[in-house]
Structure 1
Amino acid sequence: MFPITSSDYAGLVLRLSLGLMYLSHSILLKFVTYGLDGTAMFFVHVGLPGWLAYMTFVAEAAGGILLVLGIQTRWVALALTPALAGAIIWVHGANGWVFTAPNGGWEYPAFLLAISIVQFLLGDGAFALSRSRTFEFSRG
């Protein structure tokens, strides 16, 4: 057993925070608050196909669970980044920077995109159930 480092704890805190955010965004916002049909109508309103709302809900909910449990964290965090990029491009990008702008600005999804990439780079963190395959950047 390897000793747990401060970087491992940082990865754990980031993983739990990110996982809970995805769970909240999918279950509390898309399912409980707006309902899946309402979310699908919103997707259509912004020019996306309605079926993508259901796919996004499943991806965010499953991804959130996998992140909290620490199952293939790097790859789950990376797989969820297109949804965040899409939220910036199709929903929040034209609203300006501040999220309190009408219909929400793009800094919140941009921040979540950045920390998803950091999670990918940092790795699983402590107490992960299924470690991600590792990789290292070469120093040229």
Structure 2
Amino acid sequence: MDSNLNGADYGATLLRASLGVMWIAHAMLKWLVFTLPGTAQFFASVGFPGVLAYPVFAFELLGGVALVLGIYARQVSLMLTPVMAGAAWVHFSNGWVHTSAGGGWEYPVFLVAASLVLWLTGDGAFALRRSRFLVPA
């Protein structure tokens, strides 16, 4: 084990892995529960091009895997943020609680915040690939 690692490094690793799992779960919901064509219909019903559902699904799934593995995690978490900000915007009128009809906005807002925290704090321990690109000073 690297003696230069500290509690913050391990904390960032835990955040990175759990956030990655949540992004994967969010993508899989689109595929396994709503289906991708159903997700496309939902996107169209809220004013987004329906075809956008497919790259959003892929981005969430691949981004989640990258986070779990620690592959450019800071950059990936930053790039995923607008996706979930869009979801928060869509669900904002449904209210706070995620169990509200249509889903609430707190879950997507939390994922936005967690993604930004990961971007700010770092990749954590055991990351497979790191970069200084788009990393705050």
Shorter-normalised TM range: over 0.9
Measure, in 1, the Cα distance between the counterparts of 2:36 and 2:114.
26
Measure, in 2, the Cα distance between the counterparts of 1:51 and 1:123.
33
Length-normalised TM-score, structure 2? 0.93
Measure, in 1, the Cα distance between the counterparts of 2:131 and 2:108.
24
The sequence identity of aligned pairs, in percent, is 53
Length-normalised TM-score, structure 1? 0.91
Structure 1 residue ranges (4+ consecutive) displaced by more than 3 angstroms after TM superposition: 134-137
| Structure 1 residue 2, shift from structure 2 partner | 5.5
Within-5 A mapping of 1:1-140? 3-27=4-28, 29-89=29-89, 91-133=90-132, 135-137=135-137
Deviations 1:40-76 (A, max 9, x none): 1111111110111001001001101100110111100
How many residues are aligned here?
Answer: 135
Measure, in 1, the Cα distance between the counterparts of 2:132 and 2:8.
17
Unaligned runs of 5+ residues in structure 2 are: none
Measure, in 2, the Cα distance between the counterparts of 1:101 and 1:37.
23
Moved more, 100-109 or 68-77: 100-109
Measure, in 1, the Cα distance between the counterparts of 2:15 and 2:27.
18
Measure, in 2, the Cα distance between the counterparts of 1:25 and 1:96.
19
Q: CA 1:128/1:94 → structure 2, altered by over 3 Å: closer, same or farther?
A: same
